[in-house]
Amino acid sequence: MEENEMYEQNTFRTNKSTVSHLTKAIREGIRQADEEGVSEKMVDDLQELLLTLQQADCQAFATDTCTLELPGNSIDQNPPILVSVQHDVFGLSCCIEPTLADAETPCGIIKNACSVNEIRATGYINYYFNFPLLTFFNSGEEDCGKKVPRIFSCSGSTCVNEIIGYQSLEDPDPCPDFCSDAVLSVAIRCAVYHASNSLAVTYIILHLLPSCTSK
């Protein structure tokens, strides 16, 4: 087996595994959203995100995780299931590399029949998100019983090395503009661990990358 073919197959398996993990997390998020009685809009957003991932053969994405460690006994609200993420995509670059592609014909698939440009997003995406939670950080007001909203945040950097599409060798500018073309970033709550005074909340960070055909 050729080295490039082996790499592509391993990448395919990894992406399929990641999509499976993400869809499972989103379905669990939808279930928890129903139980917790969150807004219909959040449920709709989760459903839309799930549909996008189910079409992931045509959708490039990068993922990360971010864990917040909170003083659990001072928190009086469940962390949100879905959070919008702010990102900085200035660290993304577009790489163009000619590669061989198969051709589908009425007589079957011809391996390595033509040359195309493989378009890949590489580099990193810096991200940040926050959300308010009701807390007892009240400096003793109302006999320590006053509930006060406080902001909690998480930030990090996601490494990116993803194929975002294929284009003709004749296309003089096949790359998307990552700053102008929408990169959508969200955080999905995937795990909550509460023990004694410790509350650990883990989010999957999902960056949906633009296709090179969307420029």
pLDDT tens digit sequence for 127-172: 999 999 999 999 988 888 899 999 999 999 999 999 888 888 888 8
Contact between 131 and 150 under an 8 Å Cβ cutoff? The reply is no
User: What are the tokens at 149?
Assistant: 């909203």
* Gap between the Cα atoms of 186 and 62, Å rounded: 11
The DSSP element (H or E) to which 36 belongs, if any, is helix 3-36
pLDDT tens digit sequence for 75-90: 998 898 889 899 999 9
Cα–Cα distances in angstroms (integers) from residue 140 to residues 73, 75, 147, in the given order: 15, 15, 11
**Is the dihedral angle over the CA atoms 65, 124, 151, 134 positive or is it negative?**
negative
| Residue 153: predicted pLDDT | 96
Q: Pairing between strand 61-71 and 198-208?
A: antiparallel
Residues of the chain with pLDDT under 50: 1-14, 214
| Residue 12: predicted pLDDT | 34
